Amino acid sequence: MPAQIPMLLATLGLCGPVVISEVMIDPQGSDSPNEFVELVNIGDYPVDLTGWRLADLNSTDDLSGDDLTLWPGEYAVIFEGDYSSDSGAYAGLVLPGTHILFVGDNFIGSGLNNDADSLFLLDSAGVKVDSMGWSGGVIPGHSLEKVLLGDCDTSGNWLSSLQLLGTPGRPNSVAGQVITAVVRISEIMYRPLSMDPEWVEVFNPSGSAVNLERWELWDQSAGVPLPQYHLIPGEYLVLASDSSAASGWPAGISLVTLAGFPALNNSGDQVILTDPFSVVIDQIDYTPFPQTPAGISLEKVVLAGDNQEGNWRPSRQLHGTPGAPNSVAGEVIDLALDSLTGTFDPAAGRFEVTAFVSNAGLEASGGRLSTAGNQVADINQLSPGANAAVSFSWIPPPLYGWLELAVWIEAAQDYDATNDSGLVQLLVPARPGVVLVNEIMFAPPAEGPEWVELLVNTTWLVNPADWLFADPSRGARLPSGEWESGWLVVITGDSSLAAGLPPEARLVVVSGFPALNNAGDIITLSDPSGVIVDRVDYSLMDLSVSGRSLERVSPQAPSNEPSNWRPSPEIQGHTAGRPNAAAADPGAEGLTLEPNPLRINRADAWLVLAYATPFASINLHVTVYDLAGRRIGTIYNGGPLPGSGEVAWDARSLDPVRYKTGQYLLVFKAVDAGSNRRWERLERLIIVR
C-alpha cells in the first residue's frame, strides 16, 4: 500500500462505504462449502477490515484473510472456512486481485437459510456498517445481487443474478438496472369464439426497446416464459396459445406463440407480466369485471391508467383489435356516471343528491348533469382517470315513499353513452296520518279471512313499497304501488277475499299477514324510515259484535278514540273497499217528515221520518208534544238503529191516543250507541182529517 494514504475505519453511517453487494444463499448442489458473501468498497478511501465480523440472526463470524485492506472499487468475497479457492465451485470465476476472506468455521453465520434470513456487517467496534435480508424468491444456483450499490438495503434493490453461480468478485449482472413498468397489458381475449385461441396483447409505451427474453406471462395459477423479442417503442405484441386465428387478423400483426399459454378463466382470472427478476411489471384482475360476450376482447381505455374496472371495457369489434390500437381508446372524451346517493332534507322538502363522476377517456373533459331535461349541475374539467363528487338539490314530486330519480351526463363528443346515466332510489319519509287504518275485520264470519282496510288520507301519491304492516308479533312488507288520494286499499293474507269485494275495491295480498286477536290487538303501519304512519289499539273499541268489522267514523278524529270506531251497520257486516257505513257525514245531517201535513182519516195514514245523524249506530226516542208542551204520545223508542235511515209511524194504531186536527211538536232524540252522545231535532207536525 502506498505511503501517506489515509485509512478509513468505517464506523459511521448505516450503509457503506463497504457494502454487502452479493450473497449466494442456495448454491447448486450442496450448500457447504459453496455459500458466499461479496463486499465492495464504494467509498473514496481504503478501509481496513481487521477485526470486522459478519453475522446472521443466530451467530457471528470473525473475518480473516491475507490482505484485509479494501481499496475503493475493490471486491472481497467471504467464503466458508472449508472452501478451496483453487478447486471450489467458483474457481476461475473470481477475478485476480479479488480479496479472498474466510469465516472461522465451515458455515457463514449458522448456515444461510434459503427461506428467510438476514446478514449484518460489523466493523471492529461492533458498529453495523451494512445489512440485508431476504424472504423466499431465491432461484437455486443464482445469487442475490444488489442493483444500486449506493442504496441501503431495500427488498426492491436486490434481484436474482442473471448468471448461474452469480458474479463473485466482479460487477453484478443486474448492476444499475432500474425496474420500471415499461410494458403494459393492453388487451385480453379470455373468451374467444369456438376454435379460436386465447391471447393477451402487450404494448411498449416507453421511448426504448425492451427485450422480453426471460419475461413471463402468468395467470393466477401458472406461468410461461417469453422468448427473446425486442419490443420497440409504440409496438403492440400479441401473445397467443397458437397462431390459428392469425389468418383472420390484419396483415403485419406482431405475434408470438407460447407453448403452455395459461388457460384464462371466463368467470375471472388474473393476467400478470413479470420481468426476468420476477418483478411484476403489470397485473390485471378481471374477476370483478362484467363478463364479455364470446368473441369480444377486454380492452384497456387509457393505457397509462390503472387496471381498475372503469379503465377496461369490452371491445367494440368482434375478435377485438389484436396488434392494433384499442377500439375503446380511439375516442378521447368519456365521462362516466359511477354512482348516485341522496339525502332528504325534511325542513326544505328536497333531496341533496350527489353524483360520483369519473373521466374514463383520454383527455380532460367536463360537462353537465341533467334530470328530466333540466340541467342541474356543472361538471368541472376532469383529467383522465380523475373523479369528482357533483352535488345538487332536487325537489321531488308530491309522493311519499320510494321514488326513482334518473340522472345523466351531457358532454360534447362523449362516445360511450352506456356509462352516462344512472338511477338512484330515494325515500321521501311519510308523515303520520297520510294513510289511516279505516276498517278492521278481526273476527270474520266462519271460514272468512281477516283483513284491514287502509284509507289514503293525503293529496299526495303514496308508494307503499317496504312499508311494514304489523301487530306486536308479526308483520308483512307491502309491495310497490302508486296509491291515490281517497283510495281504500284492503290488506289481507288470503286472496279468496277478492270474491266478496266490489269491482272497484283495491286488494293487496301479502305474505306474513298478522293474526288479529279477537280480544284486541295493536295494528301498526310504518314506512321504511321508521315513521309510524298510523297505529290503532282496537282492544279499546266495542268488540261485542262478532262477524262484523270495526269501521272508522272520521279520518279527522284520533285513531285510538273509542267513539271513532263502530261495528259496521251494514247487512253484509262490512264495507270493505267501499266508504264506511259508520262514517260521519256532517253535511248530510238532518230530519224530514213526510207527508206533512199528515191526514189521519185515511187507511194509509203513515208518517215517514227520514233522518241522518253523525253517528254510526243509535238508540232512538221520538215523542209528540202539543204546543203547550204537554206530552201527547211516543212515535218510536228503541234501537240500535243505523245512524242514518228511516222509521215510519201509523198515527191510528201505534198509540192509543187519538190525535186531533192541529199543530204538534215532534222531538227526535238520537243517542250514540257507543258514547251516549246525543243528536236532537225539533220539527213542527201538522195533523188534518
C-alpha–C-alpha distance, residues 38 and 93, integer Å: 13
pLDDT digits (tens, 9 = 90+) for 70-118: 999 999 999 999 999 888 999 889 988 899 999 988 899 888 888 888 9
Closest CA to 146 of 157, 161, 134, 130: 157
**Which residue ranges make up each domain of the chain?**
18-160, 184-329, 335-427, 435-567, 586-688
Tell the burial category of 76 from Cβ atoms under 10 Å away from its Cβ (0-12, 13-18, 19+): buried
ω into 17 cis (within 30 of 0): yes
Tell the burial category of 376 from Cβ atoms under 10 Å away from its Cβ (0-12, 13-18, 19+): middle
Average pLDDT over residues 570-583: 86
pLDDT at 262: 94
Q: Cell match 471486491: residue?
A: 75
The three cell numbers of residue 242 are 397458437
Q: How far is CA 26 from the centre of its chain?
A: 49
The correct answer on CATH 3.30.70.990 for the domain covering 335-427 is: no
- Name the class of domain 184-329: mainly beta
Q: Cell match 458455515: residue?
A: 107
- Which amino acid is present at 496? S
Per the rule left: phi > 0, alpha: psi between -120 and 50, beta: everything else, 669 is: beta
pLDDT digits (tens, 9 = 90+) for 317-338: 999 999 998 888 755 688 999 9
pTM: 0.46
pLDDT at 656: 47
426 — phi, psi (to 5°)? -120, 145
* Structural domain 435-567, CATH architecture: Sandwich (2.60)
Strand 280-285, strand 522-526: pairing: unpaired
C-alpha–C-alpha distance, residues 85 and 104, integer Å: 15
C-alpha–C-alpha distance, residues 179 and 491, integer Å: 70
Highest mean pLDDT among 14-18, 165-169, 612-616: 165-169
pLDDT digits (tens, 9 = 90+) for 422-458: 999 999 999 999 999 999 999 998 878 999 999 999 9
Q: What is the CATH number of domain 586-688?
A: 2.60.40.2550
The three cell numbers of residue 172 are 453484478
Same fold, 335-427 and 435-567: yes
C-alpha–C-alpha distance, residues 39 and 71, integer Å: 11
3-state secondary structure of 682: strand
pLDDT at 278: 78
Specify the fold of 18-160.
Immunoglobulin-like (2.60.40)
Confidence check: pLDDT of 617 > 50: yes
C-alpha–C-alpha distance, residues 247 and 240, integer Å: 13
C-alpha–C-alpha distance, residues 315 and 300, integer Å: 9
C-alpha–C-alpha distance, residues 364 and 376, integer Å: 21
> Which of the pair, 250 or 106, is modelled with greater confidence?
106
Which segments of 210-363 are extended strands (E)? 210-211, 216-218, 223-225, 230-231, 236-240, 254-257, 270-274, 280-285, 298-300, 312-314, 335-345, 350-359
Q: Using pLDDT thresholds of 50, 70 and 90, give the confidence band for residue 311.
A: confident
pLDDT at 279: 80
Evaluate whether 602 touches 526 at the Cβ level (below 8 Å): no
